[in-house]
């Protein structure tokens, strides 16, 4: 039997329900900040690659790391941060759902998937030298 301190979501008072909603929205804001960061890393990496490709400023094999390798690293960091952010967001929402089963689905995950597809296309373009 559930104790009196354990309440169902429909029995939660208004201030508690609003606090849970604020927590969910804060998780979404954090996720969207990570999506923005990942998108910036991915597009900046691809832009560096295209800029140096168009300008032909440095030969590909000059130095320890060239523009192409630097671009691949930036895009990889962007994709990695996006994967970690989605994983953390899912954990946060799952833990929140234990207290508030009526937690609505987040649209931030859908946006993260779209940005991940952008990153994968950019990575393929840089690797294949398109």
The model's pLDDT over 75-106, given as tens digits with 9 standing for 90+, comes to 999 999 999 999 999 999 999 988 888 888 88
Range of the domain at 94: 14-127
Number of domains in the chain: 1
pLDDT tens for each residue of 43-82: 999 999 888 888 875 565 567 788 889 999 999 999 999 9
Q: Is residue 59 part of a domain?
A: yes
The pLDDT of residue 1 is: 45
The pLDDT of residue 81 is: 96
Q: Return the higher-pLDDT residue of 17 and 27.
A: 27
125 Cβ contact list (under 8 Å, min separation 6): 46
Q: Is residue 2 part of a domain?
A: no
pLDDT tens for each residue of 29-46: 999 999 999 999 999 999
Backbone phi and psi for residue 57, each to the nearest 5 degrees, phi listed first: -70, -45
pLDDT value at 11 more than 90: no
Q: Is residue 68 part of a domain?
A: yes
CA distance 122 to 68: 12
């Amino acid at each position: 039997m559930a104790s009196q301190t354990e309440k169902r979501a429909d029995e939660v008072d208004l201030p508690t329900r609003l606090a849970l909603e604020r927590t969910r929205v804060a998780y979404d804001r954090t996720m969207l900040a990570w999506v923005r960061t990942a998108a910036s890393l991915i597009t900046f990496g691809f832009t560096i690659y295209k800029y140096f490709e168009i300008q032909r400023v440095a030969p590909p094999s000059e130095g320890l790391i060239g523009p192409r390798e630097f671009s691949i690293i930036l895009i990889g960091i962007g994709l990695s941060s996006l994967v970690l952010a989605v994983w953390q967001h899912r954990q946060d929402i799952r833990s929140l759902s234990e207290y508030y089963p009526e937690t609505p689905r987040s649209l931030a995950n859908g946006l993260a998937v779209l940005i991940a597809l952008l990153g994968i296309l950019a990575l393929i373009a840089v690797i294949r030298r398109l």
